[in-house]
Amino acid sequence: MSEEHTSALPGQQPEPAPRGRRSLLAVVGSVVAVVLIAGGGYAAWQFFAGGGPRPAEVLPATTFALVTVDLNPSGGQKVEAIRTLREFPSWKKRTGITPDSDVIKAIFDEVTKDGPCTSLDYEQDIKPWIGNRAGLGGVRLGDGKVAPVLALQVQDREKARSGFSELVRCGEPSDSQIGFTTTDDYVIASDSTAHAEAIASAGHDKPLSEDGDFQTWTEEVGGPGIVNAYLGPQSVEVLKESSGSGLDELTGGDPATRNQLADAFKEFKGAAAGLRFNDGGIELAFAGGGAADENATTVGRGVGDLPADTAAVLALAVPPKQMDKLKASGDDADSLLSMARMFTDGTGLELPDDLITLLGDSLSVSVGGDAPASLDDVSSPADLPIGLLIHGDETRIQDVVSRVEARTGARLADLPATLAARDGKVAISSSDAYADDLLADGALADTRAYRDVITHAGEAQAILYVSLQNKWLDVLDGAGGNDQEAEEVAKNLAVLRSFGISAWSEGSTGHGLVRLSLR
């Protein structure tokens, strides 16, 4: 076991009062802010040398929640990050960062110039000991209690003891209640010295990095990135046991909602997220475990068949399991169906059957690429290429719409809007031309902008896609005026190709990917 040094701040008792958790969070915010903000700079990676253990290698397996920052990821990540960030014209201007900058000092000076830590000297108090990795989370201790934890990597253990003490002292000079211990590679801080020692000891005996759940979910999001997050199965028990009942706090005390939430948590098996620079873009990946849905509907094919110049689309699959529950609800409708009846009373809709018909298997809302010359040219919805596309039983959908029109006396044409149907698709659009475009077989799936950000289209159950290289940007740029700030925003947008969010399932594992692609 690595040698440990325990330290409480001068004047403190070894076991501080629980109020110290507020102080710990304040200090964590100061430390991680400096480290995280500096993470994008080339000089930051020059400054921080060596890898060393990650927080998960020193924190215990009973860590149920953890967010980590790693300024020394794999070599490929560094290259991708530098290349990506340098594409933005505002990067150097806004950050002042050049390859020769001491990024940590620049950020530290900016953060502390008007704060309570003006007495700290960067060269003497921070630079000699601070490392390149940090973690913030919660740990379940051996006695069942829960404690917050900060794991901050250090380069010099002895200097870290005094340096971290100074950092804590300046953050909360009159009410600092943090206890911490140092190991060969980390400062471990918690809401008491005893807790910090217990966490360090448990982490040495059985680290989180060797826990099967942690390994599984970290791998599911692509391994360690620049920022990672983990939520273990133990978090469900922590939530249930939290003071005042965590579930009651989330549901406002409503018994029905509490039971539904408890049922959802019952299937929870863990989750993780990872932020990284990859393939000329920035991406945030998610993965989590729950109940399997073997008959999940997908939307990738429908979205891929949209026009190639589609500017934006949001598409959602209709979960068969939820529709089966809705059909079975009948008169004993749940709260969602009851709410729907309130809004549809007098429309002639027969719920839940008509609602299920209108939703179809999937639906999408999209905006076409045929942008007006200026927003001043838009006087009605007919001037915008916008539409709703439903994949379902076109005859039944048209019957429901006709029945609602007859009962209410309102017609789609009065909006104005048009309805067209073909080959199991129903389009409700602002114009006949765009309705025809939606029903035709388009080639959005073949465009590079779409492929760059929607990487699992075939399995996707939800997709949000936005093109950032179309005429709409020129229209919006013109509406923003010609001031310097608007011009700067336009220059930064000009380096982007597209943005996308997709969600899909593999067995009982759900995945999500948020991705921004550069040209």
CB 111 within 8 A of CB 33: yes
pTM: 0.81
Across residues 431-439, what is the average pLDDT?
A: 94
Q: pLDDT tens digits for 272-283?
A: 999 998 877 899
What confidence score (pLDDT) does residue 118 get? 78
Residue 117 has pLDDT above 80, yes or no: no
**Per-residue confidence band for 86, with pLDDT thresholds at 50, 70 and 90:** confident
Other CB atoms closer than 10 Å to residue 342's CB: what's the count?
A: 7
Q: pLDDT tens digits for 167-206?
A: 888 765 555 578 999 999 999 999 999 999 999 999 999 9
Question: Which residues, 6 or more positions from 162, have their beta carbon under 8 angstroms from its beta carbon?
Answer: none
- Tokens 């990487």 correspond to 455
Instruction: Kindly state the percentage of the chain with pLDDT values over 70.
Output: 73
C-alpha distances out from residue 403 to 330, 338, 350, 363, 400, Å: 21, 21, 10, 21, 5
Beta bridge partner(s), residue 505: 510
CB 169 within 8 A of CB 148: no
Q: How far apart are CA 317 and CA 325, in angstroms?
A: 16
Q: How far apart are CA 232 and CA 355, in angstroms?
A: 37
Taking alpha carbons only, the member of 445, 345, 435 closest to residue 389 is 435
C-alpha distances out from residue 295 to 232, 322, 519, Å: 27, 11, 37
Q: pLDDT tens digits for 43-74?
A: 333 333 347 899 999 999 999 999 998 876 66
Residue 101 has pLDDT above 80, yes or no: no
Question: Which residues, 6 or more positions from 234, have their beta carbon under 8 angstroms from its beta carbon?
Answer: 62, 64, 140
Which two tokens mark 308? 């190639």
Residue 452 has pLDDT above 70, yes or no: yes
CB 4 within 8 A of CB 183: yes
Average pLDDT, the chain: 80
Helix (H) or strand (E) holding 83: helix 75-85
First to last CA, the chain: 50
What confidence score (pLDDT) does residue 37 get? 38
Least confident range from 116-120, 365-369, 389-393: namely 116-120
What confidence score (pLDDT) does residue 358 get? 92
What confidence score (pLDDT) does residue 342 get? 66
Beta bridge partner(s), residue 187: 152, 182
